[in-house]
Every structure is written in structure tokens, then in C-alpha cells.
A and B are shown apart, each in its own frame.
Chain A
């Protein structure tokens, strides 16, 4: 009691002291460190392992996701073009929109490539900045990872510029800059793509490396110098730089890679994991399905298509464009069928596993040598070397069980033959058909005829996808594509 009384007498002093003690303590108390579930951005690029994990994360992301991510271009691009038919019972508004070429600025929601691709670009931008600033990484690791980051950025912009036309060029991770970017003219975007690929090509390892970014392995699941070359060949082809396109594809076809790189001997072995034709594949990271999303979605069960998992099958437009005896069409190599009710549904059968829990035998093919033959063919033809072009064309035709090209060898005929070959060789692969139609200027002619068969009416503006309304609302400098 005595003590407490004295305490009261000196109450003010005591309160003052308590206040001081707490004030000193509370600042410390409310400071928290990063949660156990994460790594601080300031130290993620300080060790080889965590820095490599950021790039690995990008590939895992691409591999794991389908709808709304670039890998679903095989389906969406096919629907937009004349490759696939949408099952009549499908209620998916985005699929309906893509299929009937009647997209709006809201119905692609959830199936829109813009959002997910810019998200990958941000990661690549942040990685480029973080890696460049880092001083503690093993030089070879830093070099490889930087190369991968440039490669990923180029890869992403390649699809964005093709799908949306002029797109904002975000090359920094600073949101204050990126939040109000206007569109950048296509030419500049292509320039950026080419620059990034060149950078990547000079930095990347010649070999396939493991997730530590240095151990050489046989798994073709991480981009290397050859992947950069393959993407470069594509970019040059798309920009009409025929000479460089030929050069790039030539070095892939004739170059001396430190691993076997040649056309797979038969159609059924191309899409297997680590096939000799693969330049870059994505390793599946899911357990359902354990193999590729393509096989899971495209291969229609005995009961026919369904609204959820298997909503598409091959269109008559595509089926009828195969030449007789084309092994890609006949013989159950790349096209197979199922009879649902009274209808026979043909479906893509490049990937052959649709059992969601089967042992992994197929990887998602991103870049393959077959395409490079057709790139070189086209580049050669454009430069007047139709003989060389026909040689390359025949390399592909031979494997498909077809006789050598016997048509006219004027430039226009050969180019037309190459485009046709691309249609039947690269169908349902990453939207190649949709992009080819656009870059060659054939799209209006082809789609004006094809679109009504899909239940729509072709509009010249439909060749570019719309930007989602929410994106336009959030970036006031962003302008919508024509017609939306």
C-alpha cells in the first residue's frame, strides 16, 4: 500500500516513464519482417538458385496454365481461323466470341492473352533489371538467365504484336511508367523483339541447361541459343527480312548444335518429350493432366465432344485442305476421329495422350525444326530462290508421305504452296494459321468465306483481338482497336 501510495504521488513521473518506454518499444513492435512464404525482391537476385527460380517460374507458369495463356493459342487461334469447329453445346462466351469472330471488349474476359502476357513481361523486365544490377551471381549463370529473360520478353511481344497490333512497350518494371503507356507503333515493337532476341542469342548457352542455369542436360525445356535463333527466324520472316530469316533458319538446319537437332523420322515421334526436332519444349508441371493440355483438350472421348473439356474438333475447311494420302490426315497419325451419335468428329492427334494420369511421354512443343524448314523455304522463295524453297518444302512433304512438290515454280505459286504446307503441317500449333493468314494478307479472302460457316460475319477489323474494357479504363492513353 505504501508503495502504491508513493506511486500515486509520483504518478505523473511514472506515466511519463511508462510512455517513454512504450514509445520506444512500440515502433519496434509494429515492424514486421517479410513473411515466411516469400523472398524479398531485394535479395531474390543475389543467389544463383533464387535468381534461376524466377525464370523457372515463368516456364512453370506457361506450362501450367492454358485458358488465357499463350499455350491456348493452339485452341483459340484455331477457333478464330478456319481450323476448328466449336461444339454446338458450348456455352463459353469467350469461345463463342473467338469462333464467330464476334469478340467484344468484354466477352474475352478470362480468355484474354493481354493480361497474362504482360504479367510475364513484367517478370522478365524485373528479372532483367534485377540480374543486371546483381553483383553476387556466378557470371555464367547471370549471363544465361539474362539471356532467358530477354528471350521471354521477345517471345511475349511476338504474340502480343501479332494478336493486338500496336501494343504498349513496357520495358521497365516501374508501374508508374507502365500505368499510362500509349500504344507503340508495330515497327518499334518488332525492333524491340529483334533487339531482345539478338541480346538473348549472344547471352544464352549453346546447350540445354538445367534449372541451376549451368548444368548441361538433354531435356529441351529451357531456351538456349538455338531457341533464340528459331524465334529470330520467325521474327525476321514476319517482318519481311528474308535474308536474315534465311540466315537464322539455315544455321538451325545446317548448324552444328551440340545436341541432335534434325527432323524427326516419322510423324508420331515429333511431339514426344525431347524429340530430336524440338528446339524448345515446355515440361508439364501438372498432375491432371500429367501430359500436355493439348492432348487433354483436343482428343475427343468415344462419347463425342462436350461442353467442358473437349469443346472443339477439326473443321471441314482444314480437313478438306489435305492432299490425298497425306499421312498427317490419314492413317491416324495427326488426325483421329470419334463417332458421337451420327456425327464423326475429327480431332487433332499430334499429341496422343489424353489420359490425365498417364506417365509423361509428351512435352508441349513451342519451337520445332519442321517450322524452320518452312521458314527457310519461304525466305528463299521471297528472295527468288524457288529451287531452294522447293527443296525445303519437299523435306516436309516427304515425311508426310507426299510426293515432291510438282506445281509451278514461279515465286507466287511456290509461296502459295508453302503457305498451304504451313496450314497442314502447323495446324493447331500456337495459332500459326491465324498469324499466317494475317501476315500474308490472305485473311480477308479466307475468312470472308469461312466465317459464315462458323455462324458469323467477317469484318476486316476482326483480325485484331479487342483490348478488354477494363484495360482501356485503367490506362487512359490506351486506344481500342478499330471496330470494338
Chain B
């Protein structure tokens, strides 16, 4: 601590410069100025020096040089104790000349590094990377001191410093200082810090060492966010994949989770619909739970974020995997504010989150300010979205022919309600309803501005984003979002106390039709009437009797869903360095998600003739989820036995309050007042209100020991308590142990396999839990009978709410994982291979019960064991890196497998018919499709004896299995850059099976039914006895409806190939050359084009193989163009 002591010994003599210069180094200002006559230009720094002095102390010369050049001096006070006063005069001399004159005969030498001049004793060895100063020599048993900083001179706290080959080592304190005692001269000092290039420095005497570490550009050293901390790919023991903000920014998505699709091995994401706010299903390393939550734990800046919304009215947004509510809470996070998203998969990475992370964890880190001059970044993006694929449907001629044939098949005649062919509708008319109803263009606009900057001690970032997107439907629907994001970081002058505050506030205003017109687009008869009458009013095409012959699809647009959500996420991080080895921290967070919904159903949406006897109404939804978390932590860092030990202990207190109400208002005197609750004639609750308090507390700890970056051991543990369980079983312990061996660090390895630049073997084993069940399942409760608007006999009726189970416990997932990480050709090619085996037991599930029990299910633990195994491969390669041109490829591939290992008494359980031991839990038992009976023209299925039948029995004849789980999935990214141009091309691929649209609408209606168009795939069906076809005869009555329903339950429909390769993303950008930027007075300028879901290659019949739906709007194809400017 000598250098610091020097500064302390001469207080007031050091004056701070403007902040950006302060961070360069410690600066000595005018010392003993009174004795000096200085002639200098005070205003501007120059590279030449004028000085004249007689018998002035050396410091005076230094002060003059500092003042004239802006350079700083760095030396130990004791060095100048014996210095002789100097008499000298220089004019327009260089620094070097001046210094040579000043130091002549002093026994001192100098050298310059950046803007600092170091004064050293004797003849120092100057290295590019490090520099030393001579200390007053301790004669024996060297005591070595030094300081580790980054290239900007900011201290790196917690860097490990140890003697190569020896057992001595330490970590730097908050000022980057370290001290090692008993170092032998000639030893080699190894300095490492996560994310920076390590350095080795030969010790030369006990000179204090000044080490500047450069940021590593090796991918392996990129910082990686893990639970309660940071590491690098090189040193990580767990399986974590991080997607950087810049990769998210390349994708025009409004929900940041969608930006991960196809990019993370082991992570399977499906988007439900193409609407803003659509639900997203997220599955990490397979489906662990038979019937309860499969959601990962989400943390935004360390603060838990809800993975599900409360019950709401946005049915159009679709459901995610296994969740009962519509929409995605992540659409209320702004992608532009995200620095990185990390996906934590194995036990080592997640066990410290205990019971909440059985399904993995996703850590979202928002952007923070960086030190530097204040900069303004602006980004504007405009684009369009459209439905990328169409289903080939029957044209009018084919449709009319089908209808006539159907009626003939039924031995019937065209009836008065067969409007489509009885003359009411014009059979020469053709409307492409896909074009008319979902063929529009959605407009995308995003504007984003960020101001950031700060000093070494304080950094800030303030960002604002506006995003708006419309729909492809006719009509005025849009989603508008405004977001404000900020972060402030401060570190105290003594570098001990740190505080960080981050926050985002978003207002989302989503106007959507309540009905998805995609159904109409696919099913409306091609000769259906025009949408509008000649006078501009909606056409209901009434028959002679005044009865509307169809439901005009545009009338459905009057039924509107409107969601106004405000979202606040905020987090604080406080830390204090108690001792060089010990830091006290506290994570604090608060999130609040508040939504107001209206769902209006005006009379206008009803057929005109029914309006007189109909009632208009509206539903109002009010939901609020707020949660807070407090996590005090202690971290400890010390070098033991040549290895670095890091320990963490902490405590979590978390509470989430959910409150939701839905009110129905009906009987308005005017449609215009529907959005006003109080104008309704009658108001009543439509569903039971939600009022949930979820509390959670835990102890956790981690010990990480890294022996010379060669052997790494990581042990984590947590003791959890959750309010979701009965009093007896609230607490449970979780833990994991992981080890890594960086075998490429072994000297012998380099001799044998020198082409491998990095090699690491990893293994981890541990337990995590799942408490994703509804709250209060341990309590038996009665609630008000819902949907009653007039009290029965003036009293509220109560009804039992469900079956209670006071013995609920955690679901336990044991995760075993092996990993091999290899780097070739100086880490230009990186290969990661993972094998995971997760076994979930004590399954916590909503156990299906027969209705005899009064309910459909009870939440209980269940001794079934589900196993998920998977291979994950990821390859990142810099194929070409020449002067102006770089080509990088990254490929990931996941081979998942799911299996029910055991299920005691399966045969007598409620699941006897749903699951088979040894098979995946995602199977659907199905009929085996045999074809069409050539004699009757009906679908034929195999019965349990293998005989054909047209009326199979669901309880006995579901003899085949269809696995609804992908065989493999992955992504391929190619990135090219040439000078200012950058091109990214990303393909996503999935091999899976899914429900096809080949047999027409997925219901009981047979092809040939009135008003129902069919895919062209049904042409070539059975026409007459003897025909061999895979499609049954047309029928307009109900005679074939059972067969039509059954075919949807057969392997022919369910196991259709829904594999696809999708050009998910293309991004092209051009950065304005530096010269132009200067002329335009900007720091940075970029023009870019982006495309999402551009092309899909698939054999799937239906709108989209990802959403596998032919009744919901598929994910859209989006093109955008934008410009980024940094001021």
C-alpha cells in the first residue's frame, strides 16, 4: 500500500483533473510551485517544453512538464528523497530531452506509457504489457506490491495474482491493489481476470508492479452472466448460453424471448400467433413435468419476472406451453434495452435458484451506462409484416362442384338454406379470402434514443423507445409501446461502496380484434358475398325472409380487445467492500405489471335481424402482479493453495401479490358507451377474482475454487421455503456440485495435441425443484359462484373451489450433465458438446381425477419419474479473417429425448391411457388410419384387433402413438463483414410432427358442408364405389361427421411431417466510413435492413409449421429498414 500511502502523505497536493483525464492515472500537480519560475503556455498543452530554474526540486520540473503537456507522473515518494535539486534551462525541448536533463546523475530513469511518465530507479526493464517502479529495496524476502487495472486505468477488483508454479497468490482489492509477501526474485507472476487477457510477468526485485490487462477478444473470455455473478466461457463449470444484445437488435421482434429462437442449444421456443403480445412457449432441455409448470425462472437484472400473466381476456393471443393464460409477459420488456440474455440449463448453473429453476433459468440483463463522454444514440426503424405462407384452397368452381357432389352423395336436394349454391350467392363470384382478410401489411415502426456516459465513478444511461405495429387484418388495430429505461451506477471515491439503480417503465396499448379472422380467411366459401353493399354498409346478404345468409367477417371486427398494460421493472444493487476479501451486497428489486383490459361486443357485430333480441356487452379485466425481492449477500475471495477461492452466501426474501378481477357489463343503451363500466345496465363478475400472495424465502451459497485455471470446482446449495406448500413441507434443500478440467492448460497437452488451443471437460450433478402449481392448493376453500349477475334469493352463492392437499411437496429434478469444450486454431473454432440427463421425480402435478370426486383434478405429488436426455452441439468458427473481411459461422443442434421412466400403478391411475412407461410423455394415442373404404367412401381405421372400422372406439382403438416432441432442432448463423458492411444470415430448423390441415378444418364438419371452404389437398377424394383414395366422400349432412372428427385423431392427421427450415433472420448493415462520419459530425452512423421469418421450406399443409395452427394468425414475415446514428 505504499503508493497509496504516498498519495495520502501529501494531501492536497494532488488535484483532480477533469474526470475523463482523472481515470488515466494518478496525477501529481504543482509541488513546491513557489520555488519555480515557469514559463509556459497555460492554455493549451503542447508537446514541447520551456523551463528554466535554478536549484529547484525535481518535483518542480515534473510539475512544469505536467502543466505544459498534460502528462502525469507516477512514482514513489521515497524515490525523490535523495534527489538533488536541479539547475536547468530548456526551450522547445521534447519531453524526452527535458527528462534526460532533469534526471542526469540522479540514479533515476523514466519511461513513458500512454500519458503517464513513470520514474524508476536504476535501469528498469520495460515491457509492453507491464511496468515496474523501483521500490526502496527490501534486501531479503521480497514483498511485492502492485496494482491491476484495465487499459483505461480503472482498477480491477478481484483479479487473481499468483506466483507461477508456487502456492502463493492473492486477489486485488477494490482499488486493484495487491501485496504478496515472501516472493522469490525471478519468480513469474500470473495475473488473470475474467474477461481479460491474462498476463505473466517476471518479477524483478521487489518493484511494485503496475499491470494493465487488455480485454480479451477471445470468445472464451467474453463475460458470461451466471446466477449471482459473472464468469467466462473459459472458466464456466455450468451449461449456459448467452445471446448478446447486438444479436437481439438484429431481429425485428417486439418480444425479446423470440430473439432466442433457434439460437440456443437445448432451448425450444414456439410462437403461438402473429399478433403483438402473442404467447410464447419456452422449454429448456425438455419437458420435465407431466402436468405442472414447465416455465423457466426469469430474472431481469436479478429480479424475478412473472413467467405467466394472470387469467385475462386476450384469448386471441394464444397460450404458451402448459399455461392457462393468454399472451406473454415478455412482450412488456423492450428488446432495445437488453444487453444480454443468458439461458442457464444444468444443475450447476441453476441449483442456486433452488425450487424455482427445475426448468432452467433465463437471466435478462439490461443495458447500463459506460464511462466516457456523453453520447447520444438514435435508432429509427420502419417496416412491414405479412403472412408469409398461404394455404392452397378450392376456387369457386371446385367449391361449387364439391357442394353439389356432397348433396348428391347424401341423396338430397339443394335446400333453402344452401345459400352458396341455391342462387342467393353468385356462384361466379370468387374472393380470395386469405388475401382479403389476412393479406394486408402490418406496419412496424420503432424509434429509440439513448443518452449515456459518465465518469469513472458515475455512469448513467437513459433510453426511450417507441414501438408501434399494426395487424394484417382490415381495420384499425395496432399495438403501441413506449418505454423509458434508465440506469445509474456509482462507486465511491475509495472504490468501496457501489450502488446501481436500473429501471424500465413501459406503457403498452394493444388494440386487437377479439376474433382471429384467420379462421374466416381459410374457411369462408369462395363465392361468399361481397363485404360491403354499394352504399358502403356491411353486406349481410339476407335471404327472402330477411335472414342473414352469412356472418360478415368484418362485423366480427367490431368485437374488439383492448389491453393497456404498464410494466415497471426496477432493481438496485448495493455493495460494500468490508475487507479486501469480503464484500457485502444487497440485491433489491420491485416489479409491477398492471393491465386494464376491455373486450367489447357491440350489437353491430350481431346479424341485423337478431339485434332486436340481443344484448350488447363488455368485459373489463383488471390485473396486477407486483413483486419485490431482497437478497443480501456476502462474497469472499481469496487465494488458497495457489488457487482462487470464491464463496458466496446469501438470503432471499421474495413476495408476489397478484390481484385480478373481471367484470361483465351488459345492456348498454348504446354501443358507443361500451368501454364505460358504469353505463352498463347490469354489472357482475364473470370469473372468480384472483387474490394471491406468494411468498418465498431461501438461503443459498456457492463455493468456487479455481486452481490455476486448470481445475475448477463449484458447489452450490440452497434451502428454500415456498408458501405454495402445506406447513409440513414448506422447506427443502437443493444443491449441485460441478467440476471442470481445462486440460489444455496441462503442459503435456501442448506437446501432444498442439492444434487444440483450448480444451475443457465439465461435469455437474445436482438437484433443482419445481413449485409451479397454483397457490393455496393446500387449503380447501369456498368462493362465490361465478358469472351470477342477479343474486339468487338476494344472496351470494358459495361453492367449493377445489380439492385441497395439505401434504404437497416439491417436485425434484436431478440433473446430470457432461460437457466438452474445445477450441481449435487459437480458439478461432470453438466446439461445445453437452450431454444432459434430467430426471424429475416426485412429480408435482394436477392429478386428473374422475368427476365422481366433484372435480377434475387434485394437485399432488406423484412418484412418477420423467427423464429428459439430450445432446447439444454448438460450433462457432471464424472461417476467414483477413484484413477487411471476416466470415463467421455458428451452428447449434439439439437432439432431445423424453421418456417416462417409471409410473407406479400406471394401469390403475387416471393416466393409464395417456402414458406408456418407456415412451415420451408427449405422446398422443391415436387411431391408425387405414384409408378410405372403396365401397362406402368412409374413412377406415384399424381397430384393436387390426380390422378396419369406420367407427373406432376411442377407449380401445387408439393403438398408435404420435410423439409431439421434435426429433431435433437448431440453427445456423453465418455472419460476414467487409469493411463497413455486415451481413448476417440465420436459419432455424426443426424436425417434428404436427397436426396437418390436409383433411380440412379441424372439427366435425365434413368437406361439402355449407359455407365451408377446404384446402385443395382434399381434391381427388372418393367419388364412387371402387375408388381408391385417402380422402372420404363429400357430404353436406352429418352422416360422416364422426369419421371426420376421427381422422383428426388419427396418425394420418397428427403425425404429418411438420419439419421446417426457416430463414429466420437476415440482417444487412452498412456503417458510414469514419471520414464521412467526421464530415457529418457524428460518432457513428449505420444504415441497415432486417428481415424476420423470410422463407420457410416445409412440406407441411397449413399456414405455419411452427404455430401448427390453421385457425390462428401465424408468425409474420417482417422486413424493416433502419438507421442508427451516434452523436
Residues of chain A whose beta carbon lies under 8 Å from any beta carbon of chain B: 4-5, 7-8, 11, 15, 18-19, 22, 25-27, 29-32, 34-42, 44, 49-50, 52-54, 56-61, 63-64, 88-89, 91, 93, 96, 100, 102, 104-107, 114-115, 118-119, 121-123, 125-126, 168, 170, 173, 175, 178-181, 210-212, 219, 221-222, 283-288, 290, 301-304, 306, 309, 339-343, 354-357, 455, 469-476, 478, 480, 484
CB contacts under 8 Å to A, within B1003-1047, are 1003-1005, 1009-1010, 1037-1039, 1041-1042, 1045
B1042 adjacent to A303 (CB under 8 Å)? no
CB contacts under 8 Å to A, within B703-737, are 721-723, 727, 730-731
Sampled A-B contacts (22; CB under 8 Å): A30-B722, A31-B695, A36-B691, A40-B782, A41-B804, A58-B797, A59-B797, A64-B785, A93-B1004, A104-B951, A107-B1042, A118-B852, A123-B800, A170-B853, A175-B854, A179-B853, A210-B794, A301-B613, A303-B610, A304-B547, A342-B416, A475-B850
Which residues from A are CB-within-8-Å of B854?
Answer: 118-119, 121-123, 125-126, 170, 173, 175, 178
A102 to B1043, CA, bound (A): 12
Q: Which of B699, B722, B1038 has the most CB of A within 10 A?
A: B1038
A70 to B578, CA, bound (A): 72
Q: Which of B681, B689, B787 has the most CB of A within 10 A?
A: B787
B88 at the interface (CB under 8 A from A): no
Which residues from B are CB-within-8-Å of A302?
Answer: 545-546, 609
Shortest beta-carbon distance from A418 to chain B in Å: 35
Q: Report which of A52, A125, A180, A355 forms a contact with B613, defined as CB distance below 8 A.
A: A355
Which residues from A are CB-within-8-Å of B1039?
Answer: 455
Q: Report which of A25, A173, A211 forms a contact with B792, defined as CB distance below 8 A.
A: A211
A27 adjacent to B793 (CB under 8 Å)? no
Closest residue on chain A to residue B649 by CB atoms: A15
Shortest beta-carbon distance from B1 to chain A in Å: 14
Contact A34 to B776, CB < 8 A, known contacts A180-B908, A303-B609? yes
Which residues from A are CB-within-8-Å of B546?
Answer: 302-303
Contact A56 to B793, CB < 8 A, known contacts A304-B547, A341-B543, A474-B850? yes
B615 adjacent to A341 (CB under 8 Å)? no
Q: Report which of B798, B804, B912 forms a contact with A53, defined as CB distance below 8 A.
A: B798
A38 to B793, CA, bound (A): 21
B954 adjacent to A106 (CB under 8 Å)? yes
Shortest beta-carbon distance from B583 to chain A in Å: 11
User: Chain B 794-810, CB within 8 Å of chain A: the 1/0 string?
Assistant: 11111111011000000
Which residues from A are CB-within-8-Å of B910?
Answer: 179, 473-475
Which residues from A are CB-within-8-Å of B545?
Answer: 302-304, 339-341
Q: Report which of B415, B693, B696, B721 forms a contact with A88, defined as CB distance below 8 A.
A: B415
A114 adjacent to B851 (CB under 8 Å)? yes
Q: Report which of A27, A285, A473, A474 forms a contact with B788, defined as CB distance below 8 A.
A: A285
A473 to B915, CA, bound (A): 11
B4 at the interface (CB under 8 A from A): no
Q: Report which of B578, B856, B909, B1042 forms a contact with A8, defined as CB distance below 8 A.
A: B578
A355 to B611, CA, bound (A): 10
B614 at the interface (CB under 8 A from A): yes
B914 adjacent to A473 (CB under 8 Å)? yes
Which residues from B are CB-within-8-Å of A455?
Answer: 1037-1039
Shortest beta-carbon distance from B1115 to chain A in Å: 29
Which residues from A are CB-within-8-Å of B951?
Answer: 104
B776 adjacent to A53 (CB under 8 Å)? no
A5 to B496, CA, bound (A): 14
Closest residue on chain B to residue A473 by CB atoms: B913
A211 to B849, CA, bound (A): 32
Which residues from A are CB-within-8-Å of B781?
Answer: 34-35, 38-41
Q: Report which of B787, B792, B851 forms a contact with A119, defined as CB distance below 8 A.
A: B851
B792 adjacent to A8 (CB under 8 Å)? no
How big is the B interface, by class?
A: 35 or more
B909 adjacent to A96 (CB under 8 Å)? no
A30 adjacent to B547 (CB under 8 Å)? no
B1005 adjacent to A91 (CB under 8 Å)? yes
B852 adjacent to A30 (CB under 8 Å)? no
A29 adjacent to B667 (CB under 8 Å)? no
B935 at the interface (CB under 8 A from A): no
Which residues from B are CB-within-8-Å of A58?
Answer: 797, 799
CB contacts under 8 Å to A, within B170-206, are none
Which residues from B are CB-within-8-Å of A475?
Answer: 850, 852, 910
Residues of chain B whose beta carbon lies under 8 Å from any beta carbon of chain A: 415-417, 543-548, 578-579, 582, 609-610, 613-615, 617, 634, 649, 651, 653, 666-667, 681-682, 684, 688-699, 721-723, 727, 730-731, 775-776, 779-785, 787-801, 803-804, 848-856, 858, 907-914, 951, 953-955, 1003-1005, 1009-1010, 1037-1039, 1041-1042, 1045
Closest residue on chain B to residue A173 by CB atoms: B854
Which residues from A are CB-within-8-Å of B798?
Answer: 39, 44, 50, 53-54, 56-57
Shortest beta-carbon distance from B941 to chain A in Å: 13
A37 adjacent to B699 (CB under 8 Å)? no
Which residues from A are CB-within-8-Å of B908?
Answer: 180, 476
A306 to B548, CA, bound (A): 10
Closest residue on chain A to residue B608 by CB atoms: A303
A91 to B1045, CA, bound (A): 12
Which residues from A are CB-within-8-Å of B544?
Answer: 341
Q: Which of B615, B955, B1039 has the most CB of A within 10 A?
A: B955
Q: Report which of A8, A26, A93 forms a contact with B1041, defined as CB distance below 8 A.
A: A93
B696 adjacent to A30 (CB under 8 Å)? yes
Which residues from B are CB-within-8-Å of A470?
Answer: 848
A179 to B56, CA, bound (A): 101
A57 adjacent to B797 (CB under 8 Å)? yes
B785 adjacent to A91 (CB under 8 Å)? no
Shortest beta-carbon distance from A289 to chain B in Å: 8
Which residues from A are CB-within-8-Å of B582?
Answer: 8, 11
Shortest beta-carbon distance from A306 to chain B in Å: 8
Q: Which of B795, B848, B851 has the most CB of A within 10 A?
A: B851
Shortest beta-carbon distance from B873 to chain A in Å: 39
B853 adjacent to A178 (CB under 8 Å)? yes
A104 adjacent to B1042 (CB under 8 Å)? yes
Shortest beta-carbon distance from B775 to chain A in Å: 8
B730 adjacent to A30 (CB under 8 Å)? yes
Closest residue on chain A to residue B780 by CB atoms: A41
Q: Which of B688, B775, B782 has the most CB of A within 10 A?
A: B782
Shortest beta-carbon distance from A396 to chain B in Å: 31
Closest residue on chain A to residue B692 by CB atoms: A35
Shortest beta-carbon distance from A232 to chain B in Å: 24
A123 to B1042, CA, bound (A): 35
Shortest beta-carbon distance from B464 to chain A in Å: 38
Q: Which of B790, B803, B1003 has the most CB of A within 10 A?
A: B790
Shortest beta-carbon distance from A74 to chain B in Å: 20
A41 to B801, CA, bound (A): 9
Closest residue on chain B to residue A114 by CB atoms: B851
Which residues from A are CB-within-8-Å of B723?
Answer: 30-32
Which residues from B are CB-within-8-Å of A126?
Answer: 800, 854
B793 adjacent to A341 (CB under 8 Å)? no
| In the A-B complex, the 4 residue pairs with the closest CB atoms | A122-B854, A57-B797, A303-B547, A211-B795
B788 adjacent to A122 (CB under 8 Å)? no
Closest residue on chain B to residue A42 by CB atoms: B780
A121 to B851, CA, bound (A): 10
Contact A37 to B690, CB < 8 A, known contacts A22-B651, A304-B545, A472-B955? yes
Which residues from B are CB-within-8-Å of A180?
Answer: 908
A247 to B231, CA, bound (A): 87
A180 to B907, CA, bound (A): 13
B615 adjacent to A19 (CB under 8 Å)? no
Which residues from A are CB-within-8-Å of B849?
Answer: 175, 179, 474
Closest residue on chain B to residue A52 by CB atoms: B795
Which residues from A are CB-within-8-Å of B851?
Answer: 114-115, 118-119, 471
Which residues from B are CB-within-8-Å of A125?
Answer: 854
Which residues from B are CB-within-8-Å of A105?
Answer: 953-955
Which residues from A are CB-within-8-Å of B1009?
Answer: 91
B699 adjacent to A287 (CB under 8 Å)? no
